Amino acid sequence: MAGPGASEVAEMMAGVPYFDGLSDKTRKAIAKEGRVISYEAGRTIVDEGGAGVGFYLVLEGKVEVRKSGRVLATLGKGQFFGEMSVIDGQPRSADVVAVTATQCWVLVSWSFAGLLKGHPEIALPMIKELVKRLRAAQSAPAS
Ligand code: CMP
C-alpha cells in the first residue's frame, strides 16, 4: 500500500520543531532520504537489546517506550525515537511498541549523520528534547 510521498512527509515535517526552521525545498529533500513505514497497533517497532540503524519520526499514531515491563514514555506525532543506537551504535535501550496504528518516517544512521552535518540547526532542538527526557528519567521513581 502506498504511504505518503516525500511532499506529504515534508508538509508533516513543517509542524515538527526540529524541521520547522528549514525551507520547504530542504524539508522535501530530507523527506526523500527516509522511508515511511506503517505499524499495526501492538507491533514492536524497536526491540530492547537488538541492533538498530533506524531513526524514527512519528508521523501518525502513538508509541510506548517500555523497559522491563515499565512504560518510560509515550511518544506521538512529531516526536522521535531510536536516536540512541543510531548515535552510538550500541544495542537498543528499550522496546518501542505501537499502541495505535502508527506511521513513522525512518532514516538510517548514515543518513541521520549526514542530516545533522548538513543541517546542524536541527541538532539543538533535538538535544533540548533529549535533555527533557533525561530530566524526566531522573525524576521518575526508581524501579
Ligand atoms: P534506542 O536506544 O535506539 O531504542 C529505544 C529508544 O527508546 C531509544 O533509542 C530512545 O529513542 C527511546 N527511549 C529510551 N529511553 C527513553 C526514556 N527514558 N524516555 C523517552 N524515550 C526513551
Tracing cell 525551507 back to the chain, one arrives at: 23
Work out the average pLDDT over 73-77.
96
Question: For a pocket test of ligand 1, which of 72, 104, 108, 126 has the largest count of ligand atoms closer than 8 A to its C-beta?
Answer: 72
Closest-CA residue, ligand 1 atom 16, reads: 72
Work out the average pLDDT over 1-27.
85
Work out the average pLDDT over 1-9.
78
Work out the average pLDDT over 69-80.
95
Please determine, for residue 109, whether its predicted confidence score (pLDDT) is greater than 90: yes
Closest-CA residue, ligand 1 atom 12, reads: 81
DSSP string spanning the chain?
A: -----HHHHHHHHTTSTTTTTS-HHHHHHHHHHSEEEEE-TT-EEE-TTS---EEEEEEESEEEEEETTEEEEEEETT-EE-HHHHHH-PPPSSEEEESS-EEEEEEEHHHHHHHHHH-GGGHHHHHHHHHHHHHHHHHSPP-
Distance 80 CA to ligand 1 centre (A): 9
pLDDT for 1 equals 45
